[in-house]
């Protein structure tokens, strides 16, 4: 038995929790138990399901003081941020309750029997049903919103799936306490036992991917870990979908007109965005494209000044900080590269912000691969472009990303083509704003083309997050009384239905 350790990144101290790493056998047992209650959970009324999510939100809030204290010790993310994140997480659970109540996620469609140019068509009724037990891998950088009680868990429960969660080793005590709150909510709601499971440890994570009862995986984390697990999910005897949100370098372009209009303001704002949460956001803007002129220079000056005013930051774990420092060294090694801000602390979890500057031609050179990859932490690359053509070539060489931001002025000739280009390279295109901050709403998309995520059609934030955990089933000629309620003519659940092709 290996005890789970909780580490304080600020002090370096660690303590043993009263919980063991989960054995592969225990993981299998949890998954099988979840599978055994999957149909029962899926079959409960939608109104019960939405209320369950709200009860869980309530239980999280009831334990807010304790949860924030634990997260503060384990993540060093700061009290205001953690309190806000917990509020967001509770809001997210309630929001998915609204998504359940709305019912459109079922995509209920009824085609009555009819003649067609193909001959007679039978009665056909289609809706989406839950996949079954889902595995959720919590992130390091969001102990609440993308971890145990986060968007993957909330959306999977909303879709009607049991959830087995792999706690991130950066915050096991927080994970356990959050899980306990969710379980209290489940018990108060009268959920079937086994709807939720929590596992700890690297081996448990691998066993979870391999568990025959598991039907899909949600993951938020690094590119190497995510790709390894994605490959493993594909290598199963029965492969399962793996929704990995892996992060990206997130280009941010400032047009000539915008730099002229408000370069220093943008520079100061950028400093705040790239260092928010010690730069530990998958939406951190890591690539700043600005003109090679005096306005661009003023922007850089403002950015450098703002970064130099910042104090040392504490990263989530020593491993993450080490990785950040080695990433900085690799980037510094690229030729024709100016190190504008750097020389942070050299050990432990403490780091300082890092800023590099290269000409656009250097950025797009094949040998500059390191510049184009995400470096998790408070680091950004300034790319100076000479003209539109130079910018266009540099952007073409950038990887696809979660976000693509554009700062423009009024009647800006560069606005239209940049917005159009942005939508081909990212899941979210932002005008005159910073990409950090991913609001939970109906219209949010958090996920972009490979390598940002493993599945560009999916989102891990917002109402459409439920899509990942559903698959469609058509009932043909099935008598009314044997149909799911959402597909009955009388529509007892009052869900949106498309009937004979017409949206209702």
Secondary structure (DSSP) of 258-300:
HHHHHHHHHHHHHHHHHHGGGG--TT---EEEEESSHHHHHHH
Residues 201, 180: Cα–Cα separation, whole Å = 18
* Catalytic residue flag (residue 161): no
CB of 349 to a copy of itself, least distance (A): 27
CB of 431 to a copy of itself, least distance (A): 4
CB of 232 to a copy of itself, least distance (A): 12
CB of 393 to a copy of itself, least distance (A): 16
Q: Which of 124, 90, 93, 127 is nearest to 108 (CA)?
A: 127
Select 48 or 475, whichever has its Cβ closest to a copy of itself. 475
CA atoms within 13 A on the CB side of 59: 21
Residues 6, 74: Cα–Cα separation, whole Å = 7
Within 8 A by CB and 6+ apart from 217, the residues are: 134, 135, 136, 137, 208, 209, 229, 233, 240, 241, 242, 243, 244
Q: Are 384 and 375 in contact (CB under 8 A)?
A: no
Q: Which of 59, 245, 357, 374 is the catalytic position?
A: 245
Select 116 or 311, whichever has its Cβ closest to a copy of itself. 116
Whose structure tokens read 């942070």? 344
Select 77 or 415, whichever has its Cβ closest to a copy of itself. 415
Note the Cα 26 to chain centre separation in Å: 27
Angle value at C-alpha 399, between 396 and 402, nearest 5 degrees: 120
Select 13 or 234, whichever has its Cβ closest to a copy of itself. 234
Indicate the Cα dihedral angle 315, 317, 320, 326, nearest 10°.
80
Residues 199, 426: Cα–Cα separation, whole Å = 33
Within 8 A by CB and 6+ apart from 484, the residues are: 127, 129, 475
Show the tokens assigned to 331.
């980037």
Residue 114 DSSP one-character state: B
Q: Which of 31, 161, 178, 282 is the catalytic position?
A: 282
CB of 495 to a copy of itself, least distance (A): 11
Within 8 A by CB and 6+ apart from 118, the residues are: none
Select 193 or 480, whichever has its Cβ closest to a copy of itself. 480
Select 292 or 475, whichever has its Cβ closest to a copy of itself. 475
Select 52 or 487, whichever has its Cβ closest to a copy of itself. 487
Show the tokens assigned to 427.
């899941």
CB of 43 to a copy of itself, least distance (A): 9
CB of 177 to a copy of itself, least distance (A): 21
Residues serving a catalytic function are 245, 282
């Amino acid at each position: 038995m290996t005890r789970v350790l909780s580490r304080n990144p600020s002090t370096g101290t660690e303590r043993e929790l009263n919980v063991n790493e989960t054995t592969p056998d225990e993981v299998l047992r949890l998954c099988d138990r979840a599978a055994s209650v999957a149909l029962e959970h899926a079959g409960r009324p939608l109104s019960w399901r939405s209320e369950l999510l709200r009860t869980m939100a309530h239980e999280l809030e009831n334990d807010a003081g304790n949860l924030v204290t634990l997260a503060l010790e384990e993540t060093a993310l700061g009290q205001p941020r953690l309190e806000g994140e917990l509020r967001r997480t509770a809001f997210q659970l309630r929001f998915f309750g609204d998504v359940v109540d709305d019912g459109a996620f079922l995509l209920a469609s009824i085609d009555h029997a009819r003649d067609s140019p193909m001959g007679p068509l039978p009665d056909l009724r289609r809706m989406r049903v839950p996949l079954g037990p889902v595995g959720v891998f919590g992130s390091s950088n969001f102990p609440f919103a993308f971890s145990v009680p986060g968007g993957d868990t909330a959306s999977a429960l909303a879709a009607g799936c049991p959830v087995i969660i792999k706690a991130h080793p950066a915050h096991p005590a927080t994970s356990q306490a959050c899980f306990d709150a969710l379980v209290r909510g489940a018990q108060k709601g009268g959920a079937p036992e086994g709807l939720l499971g929590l596992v700890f440890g690297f081996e448990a994570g691998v066993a979870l991917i391999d568990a025959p009862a598991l039907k899909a995986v949600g993951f938020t984390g690094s590119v190497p870990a995510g790709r390894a697990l994605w490959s493993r999910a594909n290598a199963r005897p029965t492969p399962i979908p793996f929704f990995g949100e892996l992060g990206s370098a997130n280009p941010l372009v400032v047009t000539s007109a915008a730099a002229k209009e408000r370069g220093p303001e943008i520079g100061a704002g950028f400093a705040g965005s790239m260092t928010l949460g010690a730069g530990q956001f998958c939406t951190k803007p890591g690539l700043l494209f600005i003109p090679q002129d005096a306005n661009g220079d003023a922007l850089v000056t403002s950015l450098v000044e703002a970064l130099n005013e910042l104090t040392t930051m504490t990263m989530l774990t020593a491993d993450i900080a080490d990785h950040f420092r080695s990433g900085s060294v690799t980037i510094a090694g690229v030729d024709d590269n100016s190190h504008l801000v750097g020389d942070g602390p050299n050990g432990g979890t403490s780091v300082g912000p890092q800023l590099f500057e290269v000409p656009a031609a250097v950025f797009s050179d094949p040998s500059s691969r390191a510049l184009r990859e995400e470096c998790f932490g408070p680091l950004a690359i300034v790319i100076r472009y000479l003209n539109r053509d130079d910018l266009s070539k540099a952007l073409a060489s950038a990887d696809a990303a979660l976000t693509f931001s554009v700062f423009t002025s009024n009647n800006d000739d560069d606005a239209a083509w940049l917005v159009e280009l942005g939508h081909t390279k990212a899941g979210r295109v932002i005008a005159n704003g910073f990409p950090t901050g991913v609001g939970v709403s109906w219209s949010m998309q958090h996920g972009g083309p490979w390598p940002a995520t493993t599945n560009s059609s999916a989102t891990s934030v917002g109402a459409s997050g439920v899509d990942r955990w559903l698959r469609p089933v058509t009932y043909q000629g099935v008598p009314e009384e044997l149909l799911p309620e959402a597909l009955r003519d009388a529509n007892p659940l009052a869900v949106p239905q498309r009937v004979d092709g017409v949206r209702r």
